[in-house]
A and B are shown apart, each in its own frame.
Chain A
Amino acid sequence: MLGKLAFRNVRRSARDYLVYFLTMTFVTALMFAFNSLIFTRDIEEMFEVAGLMMALVGMATFFIVLIVAWLINYMVRFMLEKRSREFGIYLLIGMRKKEIARLYKRENILLGACAFLLGMALGVLLQQVLLSILYSMIQMRYDLHMEFNRNCILMTAGCYGGCYLLALLRCGRRFKKMNIRDLMEAQKKNEEVRESHEQWKKWFFPLSVAFLGLFAVFIFTGGIKNGGHVVFFLVGIVLVIYFFYIGLSSWLVCYVRRRGNAVYRGQNLFLLRQFSSKLKTMSFTMGTLTALFTIAFMGCTVAMMFSDYQNRILETKFPFDVQINSEDVADDFADELKVIGESAKILDAYPYHIYAMLPADTQGNAAGIPAENQVNVWLSTHLKVFGEMYLNEDGSPDLKKIAKDSRDGSFYCSYDTYMKLSDYNHLRGMLGYPKVSLGDHEYLIHLKERIRGEAEGLKDAVTIRGNEGNLEFAGYYSEPFSQDGHNGGDYVIVVPDSQGSKLTPYYSEMAVDIEGEAPLGLGNKLDDLGEPEFWERGEAAEEEEEDTDLAGHRQMSGNSCCGSDTIVVMTVANMVRDNLIPETKYMLSSLIFPCFYVGLVFLCVALTVLSVQQLSDSAKYRFRYSVLKKLGMNRQEIGRVILQQLVCYYLCPVLLAAVIGGSVSVFMSGKFIFYTGIRTAVMYYFGLSFLLFFGIYVLYFITTYVGFRRNVEGD
């Protein structure tokens, strides 16, 4: 009998709390689809970085489990409250509390199980979509196929079950404390508007707004400098999120009490009071929703940033099919050519040198900056990326620090990097750029597009010596030219071959053009070339370990530099474009996907709470609107009031979240654009995520509005 009752109740709950049910279904689907990213065997085998995706999706899952558990807990409590009368009747007809608790738990588990099964079905579809996106991102063909990985299903079920377990843990206790009278009365109780200390509580509102203003000023002027500031603002923001609503509600109450002019216009009084009383009773929930929205915003923005990066910048990072670096200036690259030749047809292979101006002039220039290092010093002290990192207190360059960091292989090499015009033109030819010509006493600088604008003053600050006297500057070039350490870090100075008497080979490079696409694993084979001899020398093997990056690529050593790029840096000795781009994209995807995942789930959870709140209150609202009807409002007017009320209620947490998330996002995008050199408006990423956000938001809003009107206008 109990089973039957539970089943009927579930059917009713699923109808009453359709939004909740659908969200749980959707969350399951998302969980399954994203978990399947971890368990896709092809990818696991293909990339050594697969662990990164696992770690990040796992981390996202952790937060998602917590937040979904919160949603379930909230809903369980909420439904309990709404159905208290029904439980009272059960008690009245002689059911024991334990039985009721069991019935209720059973109902919830049944509801959860239905949502889970439906979600898995949807999840399989979503998984196909997600994998297609991922595969097309990493340029692999994806044939639609159902993949039911046992571990994936187990993990999804585990997470989902975990949420329920966490949520239902405290449910039994609540039943123990109940008594029949309270249960029967609970629903009759009207929202009691308790107003106390409104006069001083209203100041939370302007204070919160002022704090947000301060935060915006600080974040945009770069005022947040140390850990103390960060903690201060973080705590402040959390407080603002919660106190804002208390303040706003009191502010509205005070306004109504003061009988401001708006009170006397149409249905404003009704709306203001309705809104303020809702805010008052719900301020904590509203605060939590705001936090969720903020995180959703930021998650989406980060995802958008990296996805844009991989679409636009990545292609320019690897202009050559294959490029190999060797610190040995006598390296003829014979082994490498053999390996490449085995896997692909070589169209052109061009070994060349990057030079340094050595032996160095002893005197240096007027400011005491050594001539062999002048460009490095200028860039270290003038690029905004470095700020004041390499400046002494008096504003002069901190040469010691620059020299030390150069030895450690960060940013720039120990000496400025040069290239001969013939090499330069050959490489340009390989990339399909027009050749350039230089007069005998001229030089040019090829630098990254990102620093092109900032480096305008470079040409005046440096003097490049030729065989006889100084060379004249002939121009800047900034096409993609593999300048993350291969053709110099950030820049390379190109001089006529005839002027190269003072140039000493610094390290060797080889650029290779092959027919078609490079086969999978070519990069790894090239990396393996260096290994056997290292293994023999036990000690050096450990060093070698350190020299590989996260993805297991051999990093450049010795005279290496990587330029001033940050955020996404790719400095590997053996660059095979068709291997690296998919891999980098996969690596970025392992950041993008979890960010979207967190963003989407948080958004849906928050919107569900908003929606369920409104819909289940509509019984109360039905009474209020029937009063308005008796006071002479017609159907359209009531429809308008409902719309206004819902819009206020829905917009409030979103707007606050948009302000907080927006400032942080715009700040982050600004930095991202600055460091990666991507050319986009700062608002772009936030705008995109805002649009995505509003798409989902509008869906929920319409569902709620339609349901709400039906509830209010129905019999």
Chain B
Amino acid sequence: MKDYIRVCDVEKYYGNASNVTKAIDRVSFTVAQGEFVGVMGASGSGKTTLLNILSTIDRVTAGHIWYGDTDIAEMRENDLAEFRKENLGFVFQDYNLLDTLTIEENIILAMTLHGAPKRKIQERCREMLMLLGIEDIRDKFPYQVSGGQKQRCACARALVNGPRLILADEPTGALDSRSAQTLLETFTDMNRKMQATILMVTHDAFSASYCSRILFLKDGRIFHELVRGSRNRRDFLNEILDVLALTGGEASDVR
């Protein structure tokens, strides 16, 4: 598989000269097209910073991030907004749906900002609603539906423009175990059926076990990497737990 996203020697420092915090410390990895990558780590390990950098919301202190041939570390702010619009989809722990818009309208808005024509928007929207099984609640407002449904709406919105990469930040964080499971299966489906490339940040081993590869982050560095290969999910989960146990990960993360 061709390297799709390349992260080269990325560093991100916070603070001033007397008090520097290295949130990300010379991190390099690649993501291939159609991969479902997980990033795991304890609180403060730098996973959210890494995600923010990848999603162009934050900028690197040093290093390069290549999306294909484009280095986003070198881009200007306005180009970044355009890049974000064209290439990225987001799914967040707190859904980030607009509360004044209905479920369907949240998806439509993502497309109208893209400047898509009406007919295409309508078609694509219907497709996404069906695919994610939220057709019945299309006219409901976010506050009227469950967390799982909201998250599926967020997925639909992330997917609707066919982005290069979907970034998910603790997507199951606010869901009950059943909804979480459904959502993760949705992710797997998106990955398999639509060849969506997904990068998911989580500190939950169960969620991570759905990924095809996991990067373990500690104190801003990648200290381990696990590839699922042909193993089944249960074995993979055990292996993740082993890694966590070895490195003093949080035992409470295991459901």
Contacts and interface: CB of A to CB of B under 8 A. Distances in A.
A264 B78 contact: no
Given A193-B99, A193-B141, A635-B81, A630 B57 contact: yes
A270 B109 contact: yes
Contacts of A385: none
Max chain A CB contacts within 10 Å: which of B99, B108, B118, B139? Answer: B99
B16 to A, nearest CB: 16
Interface pairs A-B: 6 shortest CB-CB: A632-B85, A634-B81, A264-B118, A273-B100, A632-B84, A277-B100
Interface string B94-116: 00111111000100111011111
Contact of A624 (B84, B98, B118): B98
A327 B36 CA distance: 108
B29 interface: no
A627 B154 CA distance: 11
Contacts of A632: 81-82, 84-86, 88, 113-114
B143 interface: yes
A263 interface: yes
Nearest to B119: A264
B78 A634 contact: yes
A633 B114 CA distance: 10
Contact of B108 (A264, A626, A635): A264
A631 B78 CA distance: 13
Max chain B CB contacts within 10 Å: which of A628, A634, A635? Answer: A634
Given A630-B55, A631-B109, A264 B81 contact: no
Interface string A618-656: 000001101111111111110000000000000000000
B136 to A, nearest CB: 16
22 contacts: A191-B100, A193-B141, A256-B105, A264-B112, A264-B117, A265-B112, A268-B112, A273-B98, A277-B100, A626-B96, A627-B97, A629-B57, A629-B81, A630-B57, A630-B96, A631-B110, A631-B113, A631-B157, A632-B113, A633-B113, A634-B77, A637-B81
Interface of B: 55, 57, 77-78, 80-82, 84-86, 88, 90, 96-101, 105, 108-110, 112-118, 121-122, 139, 141-143, 157
Interface in A236-281: 256-257, 259, 261, 263-270, 273-274, 277
Contacts of B96: 623, 626-627, 630
A636 B100 contact: no
A630 B108 CA distance: 15
Contacts of A630: 55, 57, 84, 90, 96
Interface residues of A, number: 33
Given A629-B81, A630-B55, A634-B82, A266 B115 contact: yes
Contacts of A267: 109, 112-113
B177 to A, nearest CB: 24
A587 B57 CA distance: 65
B105 A264 contact: no
A167 B107 CA distance: 45
A267 B84 CA distance: 16
A270 B81 contact: no
Given A273-B100, A633-B113, 19 more contacts: A190-B143, A191-B100, A192-B141, A263-B108, A265-B112, A266-B115, A270-B109, A273-B101, A273-B105, A274-B100, A624-B99, A624-B100, A628-B113, A630-B57, A631-B90, A632-B85, A632-B88, A632-B113, A635-B78
Max chain A CB contacts within 10 Å: which of B97, B101, B121? Answer: B101
A193 B140 CA distance: 10
Contacts of A633: 81, 85, 113
Contacts of A277: 100
A176 B79 CA distance: 54
Nearest to A634: B81
Contacts of B82: 632, 634
A273 B108 CA distance: 13
A269 B118 contact: no
A501 B80 CA distance: 100
B118 A261 contact: yes
Contacts of A635: 77-78, 81
A627 to B, nearest CB: 5
Contacts of B85: 631-633
A116 B232 CA distance: 74
A265 B118 CA distance: 8
A258 B116 CA distance: 18
Interface string A208-225: 000000000000000000
Nearest to A195: B141
A263 B112 contact: yes
A605 to B, nearest CB: 28
A273 B143 CA distance: 15
Nearest to A626: B96
A266 B78 CA distance: 17
Nearest to B105: A269
A247 B105 CA distance: 22
A6 to B, nearest CB: 34
A191 B112 contact: no
A628 B157 CA distance: 12
Contacts of B55: 630
A270 B98 contact: yes
A536 B86 CA distance: 100
Contacts of B97: 627
Given A633-B81, A635-B77, A266 B112 contact: yes
Nearest to B139: A257
Contacts of A261: 118
A636 B82 CA distance: 12
A257 B85 CA distance: 25
Interface in A589-638: 623-624, 626-637
Contacts of A624: 98-100
Nearest to B157: A631
Nearest to B84: A632
Contacts of B108: 263-264, 269
A637 B114 CA distance: 13
Nearest to B108: A269
B202 to A, nearest CB: 19
Nearest to B85: A632
Contacts of A268: 112
Contacts of B116: 264
A269 B121 CA distance: 13
